[in-house]
Amino acid sequence: MLATHLATRLAHRGIHYGWVMVGLTFLVSVCTSAAVSLPGVLLVPMTEEFGWGRAAVSGAMGVMFCLFALMAPFAGALMIRYGLRRVVSAATVIAVSAVIGLTLVTEPWQVWICLAALGAAAGMVALVLSATVANRWFAERRGLVMGMLTAAFAAGQLTFLPAAAALSSAYGWRMAILPAIIGLAICAVLYLLFARDWPAQLNLPPYGAKTLTPPAAPAAANVLTLSLTVLGESLRNRVFWVLAGTFFICGLSSTGIVSQHFIPFCGDMGVSAVTAASFLAMMGIFNFMGTVASGWLSDRFDNRALLAWYYGLRGLSLIWLPFSNFDLYSLTLFAVFFGLDYVATVPPTVKLAALHFGPEKAAIVFGWAFAAHQLGSAVSAAMGGVWRDVAGSYGPAFITVGMISVSAALAVLTLHDARGRAVRAA
């Protein structure tokens, strides 16, 4: 009833309810990804309090990203079977429970369980939710909507960190979890009250369309079968291996190493957690601008060249960081440069999937590539702490990941140019 009333009032002002769905999904993306980033703040104080090694907790981070990866390809099937509201509400409740559980842990295995649940919940509302909202509610401006929601997901991993770090320093690491709990709880309530699965449920066509789109019948089994069938076909195509492999490296060199280990690395170099988190927040701001700009560029230039530049420059920045002075100038430069590149790889990767596999299969192919991305995040999140314990420094980890990122720049250039063929077909 609230959604119907609000939709009517907005329609009188010429505002489509799809933008409300964008706002709600934006909040869910920010808060969910913020919760996933919390271990980066909790790693040092938690291990110091309990006397654990970094590897004990960073291994749990790896499990979190693995569950994130495994859940993401099937999130769309869950949304078709149960609806957006139920899936998002269930995911936020699971995430809140997992985050609260972290405040009660006394053994490493308990951290593993909590972070595994958090990863599964985040996978349920990852970029697939953004793509679903964009495709269901918008016939026009889908690219803009997808760019905004993609940027929100990445920015959320960074923007909550300064508040969490400040709370951790002032009141202890358990209080650092409070903003994520409040944010996720608010998202659950708002989505239940105001979100709808389809615009037709409010007697509206998608934005930019003139006719109602009837809701799809819930056929989860068919969607699961289709997802696995497309995966089987894609595995026989070298293009998929390049896209999934480079997207694995994307996760390896972004959310896994930087989101989870940048703050501990700065701490080793004498930079406080609050200050380091502020630089991550700066990355979030520039990430938003970089992702939107990348979407604009991907419509106008060869996406292989864009990805080569993105991966190459990202790799160089990661290699440079351990040799910097970790002063205000160096960290600001890294935050701006890396922030612009943080998830700029998403629009060109989506575009290449569409060019090589067709628009019908592109979303499914990207879903599996995104799973590879999260597996890459899991590897560097887990191994970053292990490398720190073994080598006594994060430097070798950042340098190695940077070199691997440079190799991704070379890999994407091996793809044949499908751009001209797609343009001619159009």
Q: Are 373 and 259 in contact (CB under 8 A)?
A: no
Residue 217 banded pLDDT, cuts 50, 70, 90: low
**pLDDT at 403 (0 to 100):** 92
- The residue behind tokens 């938003």 is 288
List residues bridging with 207 in a β-sheet.
138
Lowest mean pLDDT among 34-38, 186-190, 209-213, 379-383: 209-213
Q: What is the pLDDT of residues 177-200, one digit of tens each?
A: 888 888 888 888 899 888 888 888
Largest CA distance in the chain: 63
Domains of the chain, CATH where assigned: 2-202+221-418 (1.20.1250.20)
What is the distance between the alpha carbons of residues 80 and 132, in angstroms, rounded to a whole number? 10
With a pLDDT cut of 90, the percent of the chain lying above it is: 6
Lowest mean pLDDT among 26-35, 62-71, 293-302, 353-362: 353-362
Q: Are 353 and 216 in contact (CB under 8 A)?
A: no
**pLDDT at 215 (0 to 100):** 66
Q: Are 215 and 208 in contact (CB under 8 A)?
A: no
Could you give the 3-state DSSP secondary structure of residue 138?
strand
The DSSP output letter for 254 is: I
**pLDDT at 288 (0 to 100):** 79
**pLDDT at 420 (0 to 100):** 42
pTM above 0.75?
no
What is the distance between the alpha carbons of residues 188 and 390, in angstroms, rounded to a whole number? 41
Lowest mean pLDDT among 168-182, 220-234, 326-340: 220-234
Of 108, 264, 85, give the one whose Cα is nearest residue 187.
85
Q: What is the pLDDT of residues 357-411, one digit of tens each?
A: 765 566 677 778 888 887 888 788 878 777 777 778 888 889 999 999 999 988 8
Of 393, 164, 150, give the one whose Cα is nearest residue 250.
150
pLDDT higher than 50, residue 322: yes
What is the distance between the alpha carbons of residues 285 and 159, in angstroms, rounded to a whole number? 8
- Read off the pLDDT of each residue in 305-327 and give the average, rounded to a whole number: 90
What is the distance between the alpha carbons of residues 39 and 315, in angstroms, rounded to a whole number? 24
In sign, the C-alpha dihedral spanning 80, 81, 87, 91 is negative
Q: CA-based Rg of the chain, rounded to a whole angstrom?
A: 21
pLDDT higher than 70, residue 316: yes
Q: Average pLDDT of the chain? A: 81
**pLDDT at 319 (0 to 100):** 92
